[in-house]
Structure 1
Amino acid sequence: MSRTVIDIHILQTVPPSNLNRDDTGSPKTAVYGGQRRARVSSQAWKRATRTSFDALLDRADLGERTKRLGESLGGLIVGQAPDLAGVKIDLANKALTALGLAKPAKATKAAKNKADDGVTAAESEYLVFLSHHQLDAIAAHAIAAHRAGKDPDGKELKKLANQRHSVDIALFGRMLADLSDINVDAAVQVAHAISVHAVNNEFDYYTAVDDRKDDAKEQGAGMIGTVEFNSSTLYRYATLDVDRLNDNLGDPEATRRAIHAFVTVFAKSMPTGKQNTFANRTLPDAVIVRLRDTQPINFVGAYEEVVTYDSPTGRVREAAERLASYATSVETTYGEQPLAAWISRVGEHTAALDTLGDALPFADLVTAVADEAAARLGKEE
């Protein structure tokens, strides 16, 4: 069978911001090419992508990641069987214990969330990712077992938890240390975004005035503090294994929809860190997508040497020129020409990227990528 890989490369300029903080509240950074760069972790952008799916996909196509499984499952049980409202949490806890996601003792520990029936809702020891189809099926099994006077069947519950994966689980995977047989291999890999230039974090000194001080004719601020930030032109990269995604979803049309959704929201999403403070949300300067049948290729090497602040052509223009030159050089040297390539870009400063693919408006690019990748599913080499 043929292999299909989608590589997504993005240049995006972000004004003063703090998209992704470390444990001290500072914007995350990394040293690359001997220079400190702005960094946004892959986890931060994956979450931003996953939470953006709500605007494009139905609830049934998505999942829920939580430790509070008893609470979630209890709500579904009472939704399917209102007459079981008084025992919904007890039934949920029994199902989760049989499934192996909550130990019996877990349901009797000090309650963080008490149910209406007075029973403590079970929690798992770690975040668990289940599709809404899977949660609904587990709830239905718990109800049926209760009505039949039986305990939930752990083997059957495992089967239900490993069927009808949601789009987000199929893309980002699922890893359960205690239930490795229902793990899902991720179809997507996301790189840490880094700036194409060196950065030095800055500090915003702010004051907040107490409104009542004017009435009392008092002077001075009611509160003072600092917020750390930087601004950057980021290189972002993600790769999608179309065949693995199709294996996870089990349906070519669902795979096409998932590709369409992922390319759309990965490009347009942004982590929400300090957005109210900086109003920093932007869209990419350029999106480049390459369809391959060999292996993913990250072009971050174009920026091993930093783009300088005094670049005579501007940072974005130089970043685009470097990306076009480096991508062409790598693909020519290693014989890794893409099967198809598309670009969407903004302004003349990104014109150098026209050599990398067919220029299309973003909506048309997304459709072309999804259609071409789906058309290759099942083709023989």
Structure 2
Amino acid sequence: MSVRFVDIHVLQSVPPSCVNRDDTGSPKSAIYGGVRRARVSSQAWKRAARAEFENHLDRSDLGVRTKRVLELIVNDMAELAPDMPLEQRLERANKVLEVGKLKPKPVKAKKNAAEGEEPGIAETDYLIFFSRAQIRSLAEIALNSDKPTAKEVLAAASSEHGVEVSLFGRMVADNKLLSVDASVQVAHALSTHGAEIESDYFTAVDDERDADDQGADMIGVIDFTSATLYRYATINMDLLAENLGDEGAAIRAAQAFVRAYALSMPTGKQNTFANRTLPEAVVVVLRDDQPVNAVGAFEAPVLAKGQGLVAESARRLAERLASVQSFLDAPIATFVTTSSGAADVLAAGSGVPFTSLVEAVGESLAASFVTT
């Protein structure tokens, strides 16, 4: 039986914090089940997972999302051909991007205290996601030809996607041939319960003020909330293998994402609140039919009733995952790690350490590919 989808369910409590802010500086929120919930956007947690990749993956597997593609290509060209003048590198790199329909536009000059103004290197209109290997390939094209072809550029940008581009995809409005479908979907994290936004009123005093000078030198307010969050993401293994072009690489990428998604934390106001926690529970479900987001377990908000929120959240999640079989076949495999006794109902006596969970996911995926 083939594993087509890897579903990742996470329960995680965070203390007073402002993990992900809206345009007013308040923690993001959403109405669900008719009740205001704390929310962390999918974009915020994908960015956090990408940062976590840097602790586990080789630089060649990583990507860069930037408007400064031209500058990166020019820098790689300098490494490969240090004797080529900057003007020539810029001209050739520009041609590569132009035939790829990614013509950069000039930016304002940069101010340099020592040398005055220096011209800024042109940037694309929007952020574009390339792997480091693709940047290097585009630099090689620029070095090898002063008349690059669209076919060459497309070939370079359509191979060696690396882990990040293969997982998160790439959208290029000006040249859809360069777009890559994401093999990962990430839901907005929601609190399993109703959540209130509170305000911290703070003051600060100048260290150098006179001893008899009364009052504060700075006054401010920071909004925060606390929550037990339900987080969900799913990996399309067929698409991941297609993007990477190798089943073994797809397995390693899936393991890397499970690890990074579970252990990461967005950095919003982290110095203020020191809110980095570990999940109470991680449940990874391997399916051959369709991905299943279990957020419906919390459509009716969990109530603490003086006993906390984790135990009831875990019980609800366990029931929801079991009830999926009323509609779909049983999953191929389920792996669970808990760090809190309150969440042990999810493990049902078969919980494993998180490192073992990641290894077991890889072994099951490998067996799935072998048998198909």
* TM norm. shorter chain > 0.5: yes
How big is the shift at 1:354? 2.0
Higher helix proportion (structure 1 or 2): 1
How big is the shift at 1:119? 5.7
Q: Could you tell me which amino acid in structure 2 is paired with residue 376 of structure 1?
A: S
- 1:122 corresponds in structure 2 to 122
Q: CA distance change for structure 1 residues 270 and 303 in 2, over 3 Å: closer, same or farther?
A: same
How big is the shift at 1:329? 1.9
User: 3-state SS of the aligned residue for 1:229?
Assistant: strand
How big is the shift at 1:111? 3.5
1:140 aligns with 2:140: yes
Gaps of 5+ in 1: none
1:159-170 matched pairs, under 5 angstroms: 159-170=155-166
Choose from 224, 240, 243 the match for 1:245.
Answer: 240
Query: Structure 2: how far apart are the matches of 1:268 and 1:318?
Result: 23
RMSD of aligned alpha carbons: 2.0
Query: Structure 1: how far apart are the matches of 2:111 and 2:172?
Result: 23
1:324 aligns with 2:323: no
Q: Could you tell me which amino acid in structure 1 is paired with residue 4 of structure 2?
A: T
Q: CA distance change for structure 1 residues 365 and 110 in 2, over 3 Å: closer, same or farther?
A: same
How big is the shift at 1:378? 5.8
The answer (yes or no) to whether the contact 1:200–1:230 under 8 Å persists in 2 is yes
Query: Structure 2: how far apart are the matches of 1:255 and 1:212?
Result: 58
Choose from 185, 192, 210 the match for 1:189.
Answer: 185
1:235 aligns with 2:230: yes
Query: Structure 2: how far apart are the matches of 1:364 and 1:99?
Result: 44
- 1:203 corresponds in structure 2 to 199
- 1:364 corresponds in structure 2 to 356
- 2:9 corresponds in structure 1 to 9
The answer (yes or no) to whether the contact 2:3–2:365 under 8 Å persists in 1 is no
The answer (yes or no) to whether the contact 2:131–2:162 under 8 Å persists in 1 is yes
Q: Give structure 1 regions of 4+ aligned residues with deviation exceeding 3 angstroms.
A: 109-120
The answer (yes or no) to whether the contact 1:4–1:376 under 8 Å persists in 2 is no
The answer (yes or no) to whether the contact 1:165–1:248 under 8 Å persists in 2 is yes
Listed one character per residue, the Cα deviations across residues 218-266 of structure 1 (whole Å, up to 9, x for unaligned) are 1111100000000000000001111110010011221121111100010
Q: TM-score, normalised by structure 2?
A: 0.94
1:97 aligns with 2:98: yes
The answer (yes or no) to whether the contact 1:93–1:121 under 8 Å persists in 2 is no
Query: Structure 1: how far apart are the matches of 2:271 and 2:117?
Result: 40
The answer (yes or no) to whether the contact 1:89–1:117 under 8 Å persists in 2 is no
Query: Structure 2: how far apart are the matches of 1:71 and 1:236?
Result: 37
How big is the shift at 1:86? 2.8
Query: Structure 2: how far apart are the matches of 1:37 and 1:102?
Result: 43
Choose from 330, 337, 347 the match for 1:337.
Answer: 330
The answer (yes or no) to whether the contact 2:172–2:178 under 8 Å persists in 1 is yes
Listed one character per residue, the Cα deviations across residues 31-52 of structure 1 (whole Å, up to 9, x for unaligned) are 0001000000001001110121
1:350 aligns with 2:354: no
The answer (yes or no) to whether the contact 1:9–1:238 under 8 Å persists in 2 is yes
Q: Give aligned pairs, total.
A: 369
Query: Structure 2: how far apart are the matches of 1:119 and 1:142?
Result: 21
Greater alpha carbon shift after TM alignment, 119-128 vs 32-41? 119-128
Gaps of 5+ in 2: none
Listed one character per residue, the Cα deviations across residues 137-193 of structure 1 (whole Å, up to 9, x for unaligned) are 110111111xxxx32223211111111111000001111111111211111000000
How big is the shift at 1:339? 0.6
